[in-house]
Amino acid sequence: MKITTFFFLLILSSSFYGQTKESPIVSTDANTLKQIDLWKNAGKKYESEGDFIKMFEMYMHAAKKGDTESQNIIGNLYEVGEGVKKSFKDAFYWYTMAADQNDANGQMNLAYLYYEGNGVQKNVIKAEELLIKSALQGDPEIQYTLGIMYSMKDDPYLYYNFNKAEKWLLSSANSGYSKAQEDLAALYLLNDDVTNSVIWYKKAAISGHERAQYILGYFYLKGIGGKKSKRKSKEWWDKSCKNGYNDACDQIKKINSSRNKTLKSVSEFKN
């Protein structure tokens, strides 16, 4: 099961849920922590078997003891309706429990609900606040998400801010997160900063990002940001193709086809 990790958003009073649910008790004694691990391991086992009802039961035990990972998982199960009836309000409750313990994933998952208005009144400002809190804890993937949010120019034009996008993508990219490196390169390219774009495409390509490898190959072919080099172009397209990027594979096929035609022509000429 994939835990929700992207975007965000009214603040419900604690009494709204306090009337229907008991707040989880955060447990720290050794025996309880050991039991939490047993519940979580059982939950993982049931997940691998596709038994989401029993998975839900196991993680709920751990969530009620204050385990933030389990609270996020329970929230996600409610959000997608696996192992339990779909309920955005219940998802909101459990993400809030994790977020209130300053859990970065809980903050980001809660931000998503605020952003979409699922289980809570839509509030994009609250969503942004939560995502910033989450990103400040240093997780490169969450910093990347925030950077992407600020880089979007599509409807509804809520967030675009180049400086903020650059800041958070840089934070993530400098941690070695290849997705951030590649998107940072694209951000620079879209803003006509070819020099920095090439630098970050190279870093992303070296990190193994298949699309960055493909684009870097194109740069070498056209001489963008440096000297032309068909050899280096093909080298990067080879790597990109091996990593499963189909456009790179198509380019390699074209190169090989052209080479074979040339060899055939030379052979016919000699004969």
Q: Quote the mean pLDDT of the chain.
A: 87
In a domain, 243, yes or no: no
Could you tell me the two tokens for 16?
């709204």
Could you tell me the two tokens for 80?
């997608």
Size (the chain), residues:
271
pLDDT for the residue numbered 159: 76
Tens digit of pLDDT for each residue in 48-99? 999 999 999 999 999 999 999 999 999 999 999 999 999 999 999 999 999 9
**Residues of the domain holding 18:** 1-137
Higher pLDDT, 118 or 29: 118
Q: Please name the residue that has the structure tokens 């900063």.
A: 193
Average pLDDT for residues 248-259, to the nearest whole number?
A: 84
Tens digit of pLDDT for each residue in 206-222? 999 999 999 999 999 99
Tens digit of pLDDT for each residue in 113-169? 999 999 999 998 999 999 999 999 999 999 999 999 899 877 554 678 999 999 999
Task: Inform me whether the pLDDT recorded for 248 exceeds 80.
Answer: yes
- 156: preceding bond cis by omega (within 30 degrees): yes
In a domain, 158, yes or no: no
In a domain, 233, yes or no: no
In a domain, 187, yes or no: no
User: Is the Cβ–Cβ distance between 124 and 153 less than 8 Å?
Assistant: no
* Cβ atoms within 10 Å of 37's Cβ, excluding its own: 12
In a domain, 169, yes or no: no
**CA pair distance 210, 232, nearest whole angstrom:** 15
pLDDT for the residue numbered 256: 82
In a domain, 50, yes or no: yes
Task: Inform me whether the pLDDT recorded for 1 exceeds 80.
Answer: no
Q: DSSP labels for 77-113?
A: HHHHTSSS---HHHHHHHHHHHHTTT-HHHHHHHHHH
Q: For the domain that residue 109 is a member of, what is the CATH number?
A: 1.25.40.10
pLDDT for the residue numbered 156: 57
Alpha-carbon torsion 146, 147, 150, 155, what sign? negative
**CA pair distance 202, 11, nearest whole angstrom:** 43
> pTM of the predicted model, to two decimals?
0.77
Tens digit of pLDDT for each residue in 233-244? 999 999 999 999
Number of domains the chain contains:
1
In a domain, 235, yes or no: no
Higher pLDDT, 268 or 231: 231
User: Is the Cβ–Cβ distance between 145 and 165 less than 8 Å?
Assistant: no
pLDDT for the residue numbered 266: 41
One-letter amino acid identity for 118?
Answer: N
In a domain, 67, yes or no: yes
User: Is the Cβ–Cβ distance between 56 and 83 less than 8 Å?
Assistant: yes
Task: Inform me whether the pLDDT recorded for 17 exceeds 80.
Answer: no
